[in-house]
């Protein structure tokens, strides 16, 4: 080091050498806090007893989580890419028997809501259709204050204790040495984490299933994930789990389709939601709750507080209690979607927490995150976050304060202002925490009841149809095929061997890994509610591409379009160029997509118009033949006019024996075949083609 002309110290060496003193590989080093204190436990937060609440004095947990919460600005660390809409919620019947929450009492009352859907791993600029967990968070603007139900489209999570959340996200995010890959779990660090943290076994089965590539935000379930409590006016408590069930059913993309959409339309999910609402096809979700009486807490073979476990619906039925409708798009993405602040600790009287250690950590983490992301403690004053009811307290000033408070008093208790703002008793609507008895030694440990990592992973596998199982095998093979470490690949195969040896063997074969030894399956139970094959199948709000060119059969296309419209299906024309095309009877229709912009992956089904002139023209275009072939290979419903069977043949589709393919033999009378085509669309996919 030497001084320059301004008497400042400068380094004569290169910039790289200047930075060398700050570099550390961390290999072979003892784990410490940022203050250098050696850490004895990094798996379990400090609790009052093994199943007790997390304690604030756990300085290591707080330091680790605080650093994680502030790692990035201003984008959310997780759930950065999101899209949202406004709507309302109505309860079906008074829920006073179970909870005193005011918004769950009056069926005639519409409670405003704001819902944000998101992907977890990717940045704001990543694609919508990547394989990932989806966030499903709802803010209820109730008369008792804002209530946030902060959930996902998968009912369980990767970890059991919040202290491991930074580790999980560090593992799944782009690897720090090269910032690759973006919005993907198909890389070494993620699968290394999974193999070495087997509590993730159940969640990884969901993540690798079709649930991780939903067809639409409108067609995916939502879950509160954690165990909460309902408290009624009499003080009786019940453990609960929340479910959002889409009226349209639960449907997914196929993997090849999801990958292509990421390139052709990375905004596919947000565009789908926005356009559906603009067209009046308002997404609807029914709210359900599972309830367990406190006296039944220990009667199951799983711990009801374990966030890596579901409560099988066959054991604990879901009671449907209301419906949410999303009927208004945001008017400013940044002001609403980007600035909305959710927090699982935003509750109302009648809803309380459990000692789920993942939930306990989230109650700390979310406020801390908002302080960094939204620039201070006044994020509640941003319009999208403001409650609809008045709020009064003694909190003052801070960055971005918007309220102009009057008066000299900003403390409690006081006499100068008659003790206002004053506290409220429970009878006056004041929130009172459930008086759960808690006792135990301060420990950093996890209850033995949390140590079963595989039984529900097996349950999930048992519950899948053969088609869904095949998709999971392919997904594991793809994800692990991107992993460079043979050792990590083998570790995951061994882990899968604890779930199902056939699954593990198939994945091992695709990787060239060693197959694990066969083991008898200890869990034989299945849960039909977990399979998407058993979901609602409706045609309405689906989107169909009509492939046509000049000379199409006008009467036939008009009849099909009318039938589709009556069923709530949107039809859009794909042709060689934009403008209008003319049918054989002089009918003119406007073209919305060309063969370059109208890929089959943007639609739920395909109809190829009849008319020899149209078919002859399209047969000459390889893009048209490919569009037909792609829709068929993605197992979608395919309809065709009589002459259009030639285009199917050009795509090597033998329509006489292909499920979900409907050829219209009579161009003047389309009613019967159109109804058959609509039924085929409602099926979503025709899996028999895979056989």
Instruction: Report phi then psi at 525, rounded to 5.
Output: -70, 150
- Taking the C-alpha atoms of 339, 343, 348 and 354 in order, what is their torsion angle to the nearest 10 degrees? 170
Q: Provide CB contacts within 8 A for 12, sequence distance 6+.
A: 1, 2
The kind and range of the H/E element at 528 are none
Token digits of residue 428: 């006056």
Cα angle 369, 374, 375 (rounded to 5 degrees) comes to 100
First and final C-alpha spacing in the chain: 73
Token digits of residue 471: 């998709």
Q: Provide CB contacts within 8 A for 512, sequence distance 6+.
A: none
CA distance 442 to 47: 6
- What is the DSSP annotation of 607-647? EE---HHHHHHHHT-HHHHHHHHHHHHTT-EEEEETTTHHH
Cα atoms found within 13 Å of the Cα of residue 623, Cβ hemisphere only: 13
Residue 45 CA, chain-centre distance (Å), reads 26
Pairing of strands 442-444, 543-547: unpaired
CA distance 393 to 421: 6
- Nearest Cα neighbor of 39 from 6, 61, 13 is 61
**Residues classed as catalytic:** 79, 152
CB atoms within 10 A of CB 40: 8
Cα atoms found within 13 Å of the Cα of residue 390, Cβ hemisphere only: 3
Token digits of residue 74: 């201003």
What letter does residue 174 receive in the DSSP assignment?
P
- What is the DSSP annotation of 468-508? HHHHHHHHHHHHHHT---HHHHHHHHHHHHTT-HHHHHHHH
169 burial via Cβ count (<10 Å: 0-12, 13-18, 19+): middle
198 burial via Cβ count (<10 Å: 0-12, 13-18, 19+): middle
């Amino acid at each position: 080091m030497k001084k320059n002309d301004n008497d400042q110290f400068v380094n004569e060496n290169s910039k790289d050498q200047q930075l060398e003193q700050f570099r550390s590989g961390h290999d072979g080093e003892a784990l410490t806090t940022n203050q250098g204190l050696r850490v004895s436990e990094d798996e379990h937060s400090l609790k009052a007893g093994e199943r007790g609440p997390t304690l604030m004095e756990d300085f290591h947990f707080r330091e680790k989580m605080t650093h994680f919460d502030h790692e990035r600005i201003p984008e959310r660390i997780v759930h950065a890419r999101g899209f949202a809409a406004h709507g309302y919620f109505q309860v079906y019947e008074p829920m006073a028997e179970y909870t005193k929450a005011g918004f769950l009492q009056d069926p005639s009352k519409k409670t405003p809501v704001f819902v944000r859907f998101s992907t977890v791993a990717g940045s704001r600029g990543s694609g919508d259709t990547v394989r990932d967990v989806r966030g499903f968070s709802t803010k209820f603007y109730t008369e008792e204050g804002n209530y946030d139900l902060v959930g996902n489209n998968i009912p369980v999570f990767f970890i059991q204790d919040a202290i491991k959340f930074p580790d999980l996200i560090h593992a799944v995010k782009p690897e720090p040495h090269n910032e690759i890959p973006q919005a993907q779990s198909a890389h070494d660090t993620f699968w290394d984490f999974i193999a070495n943290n087997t509590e993730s076994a159940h969640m990884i089965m969901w993540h690798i299933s079709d649930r991780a590539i939903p067809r639409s935000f409108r067609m995916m379930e939502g879950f509160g994930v954690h165990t909460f409590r309902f408290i009624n006016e009499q003080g009786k408590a019940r453990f609960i789990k929340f479910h959002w069930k889409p009226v349209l059913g639960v449907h997914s993309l196929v993997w090849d389709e999801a990958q292509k959409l990421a390139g052709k339309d990375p905004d596919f999910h947000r565009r789908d939601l926005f356009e559906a609402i603009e067209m009046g096809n308002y997404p609807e979700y029914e709210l359900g709750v599972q309830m367990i009486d406190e006296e039944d807490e220990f009667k199951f073979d799983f711990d009801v507080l374990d966030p890596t476990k579901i409560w099988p619906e066959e054991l604990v039925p879901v009671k449907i209690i209301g419906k949410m409708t999303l009927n208004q798009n945001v008017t400013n993405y940044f002001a609403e979607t980007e600035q909305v602040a959710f927090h699982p600790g935003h509750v109302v009287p009648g809803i309380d927490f459990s000692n789920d250690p993942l939930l306990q950590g989230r109650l700390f983490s979310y406020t801390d995150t908002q302080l960094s992301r939204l620039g201070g403690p006044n994020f509640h004053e941003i319009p999208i976050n403001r409650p609809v009811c008045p709020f009064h307290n003694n909190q003052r000033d801070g960055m971005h304060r918007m309220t102009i408070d009057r008066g000299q008093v900003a403390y409690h208790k006081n006499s100068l202002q008659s003790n206002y703002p004053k506290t409220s008793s429970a009878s006056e609507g004041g929130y009172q925490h459930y008086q759960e008895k808690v006792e135990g030694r301060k420990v950093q440990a996890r209850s033995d009841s949390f140590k079963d990592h595989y039984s529900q992973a097996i349950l999930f596998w048992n519950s899948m149809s053969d088609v869904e199982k095949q998709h999971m095998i392919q997904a594991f093979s793809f994800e692990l095929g991107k992993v460079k470490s043979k050792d990590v690949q083998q570790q995951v195969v061994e882990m899968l061997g604890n779930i199902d040896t056939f699954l593990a063997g198939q994945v091992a074969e695709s990787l060239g890994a060693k197959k694990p030894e066969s083991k008898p399956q200890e869990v034989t139970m299945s849960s039909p509610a977990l399979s998407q094959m058993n979901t609602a199948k409706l045609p309405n709000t689906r989107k169909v591409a009509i492939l046509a060119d000049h000379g199409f059969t006008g009467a036939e296309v008009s009849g099909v379009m009318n039938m589709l419209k009556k069923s709530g299906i949107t039809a859009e024309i794909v042709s060689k160029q934009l403008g209008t095309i003319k049918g054989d009877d002089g009918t003119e229709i406007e073209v919305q997509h060309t063969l370059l912009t109208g890929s089959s992956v943007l639609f739920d089904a395909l109809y190829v118009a009849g008319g020899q002139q149209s078919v002859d023209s399209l047969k000459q275009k390889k893009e048209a033949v490919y569009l037909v072939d792609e829709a068929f290979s993605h197992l979608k419903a395919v309809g065709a006019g009589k002459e259009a069977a030639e285009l199917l043949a050009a795509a090597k589709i033998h329509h006489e024996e292909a499920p979900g393919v409907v050829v219209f033999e009579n161009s003047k009378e389309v009613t019967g075949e159109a109804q058959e085509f609509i039924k085929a669309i409602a099926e979503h996919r025709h899996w028999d083609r895979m056989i």
